Chains A and B, each alone.
Chain A
Amino acid sequence: MGGWAIAVHGGAGVDPNLPPERQEQAKQLLNRCLNLGISALRSNFSAIDVVELVVRELETDPLFNSGRGSALTTKGTVEMEASIMDGPKRRCGAVSGLTTVKNPISLARLVMEKSPHSYIAFSGAEEFAKEQGVELVENEYFVTEENLGMLKLAKEANTILFDYRIPTVGLESCSVGAAAMDNPLLMNGLPIRVYAPE
């Protein structure tokens, strides 16, 4: 049997021009979360408790796309989702469409432990949150100025921003334009060919 191990992530697909100070901020948050998890593991916390503890910290900090600092819907609101899974008995809990729950990961855990289901979403999840007495906040709490700016950018580009390889039709080589023209159908704001295998 090996010792304990922990890993955290804050998202994939990074802006290639991310300013150094933002990179440093991200590393500091990742370090803080790692150390939070390490001290819990050294105090013999169980794995399921540690993953919830660390993700709560990441949801509370606005730097990454979760909890406060979440990406915005096309309406400029926040709809959050989360899931948690405990290896030994493969127990799991998941939530989607949350708009007022401060820490979605803790509600996902309550779904796993206090409900007969594995996944509860939208209004049902909000009702369950009220029943369970988890901390609720206004949707505005999750919205940051930076993300309002990002949403404006995404709307102007008529696309969704999840990484930086989104083909910009017309501006680049005509092959990209041509390909897009061949198949102008868009899905989620992207040329359908991105989803071709589908």
Chain B
Amino acid sequence: TVGCVVVDREGRCAAATSTGGLMNKMSGRIGDSPLIGAGTYACELCGVSCTGEGEAIIRGTLARDVAAVMEYKGLELQEAVDFVIKERLDEGKAGLIAVSNKGEVAFGFNCNGMFRGCATEDGFMEVAIW
């Protein structure tokens, strides 16, 4: 699975996710990536793209939950990501990336690694795996 989240200079957020799914999956299986609110979500506040065990991400409506705890609990972006990764995945293993309309970028994962990269207009840039 691959994904990208962006907030532009006007503060508009967007998210995109694309995948081949799981190796040796049953034909016709649908994972979290195309399900809006599970693997992908964007609203006024943030943009989120998830990856990992699709069935766990779907059950946790992971991407929407990041936006929901920002909206209803008033959490900042990284707090919201940490909360959702910690509280919504049960035994599932997953990761996600997110941006906020304030120009913040965040990520979180509860498995051993996630291929990721992030950058902000003030010059921050990071590419990492573990």
Contacts and interface: CB of A to CB of B under 8 A. Distances in A.
A134 interface: no
A108 B15 CA distance: 12
Interface string B1-32: 11111111111111111111111111111110
Interface of B: 1-31, 33-36, 39-47, 49, 51-55, 59, 90-91, 93-107, 109, 111-122, 125, 127-130
A6 B22 contact: no
B35 A51 contact: no
B18 A58 contact: yes
B39 A83 contact: yes
Interface string A4-22: 1111111111101010000
Contacts of A100: none
Contact of B8 (A31, A45, A54, A67): A45
Interface residues of A, number: 94
Given A58-B18, A71-B21, A81-B30, A5 B93 contact: no
B49 A9 contact: yes
Given A7-B105, A88-B12, A195-B55, A64 B42 contact: no
Contacts of B114: 9, 11-14
A130 interface: no
B1 A66 contact: yes
Contacts of A141: none
A194 B33 contact: no
Nearest to A34: B117
B27 A2 contact: no
A88 B104 CA distance: 17
Given A2-B104, A33-B117, A162 B22 contact: yes
Contact of B2 (A27, A65, A196): A65
Interface in A84-129: 84-88, 90, 92, 94-97, 104-105, 108, 118-119, 121-122
B123 to A, nearest CB: 10
B107 A2 contact: no
Nearest to A194: B91
Interface string A170-186: 00000000000000000
B60 to A, nearest CB: 10
Contacts of A195: 55
Interface in A32-49: 33-34, 37-38, 41, 44-48
Given A9-B97, A12-B52, A54-B4, 11 more contacts: A4-B7, A5-B105, A16-B112, A47-B7, A52-B16, A70-B19, A83-B16, A85-B16, A119-B34, A119-B36, A188-B55
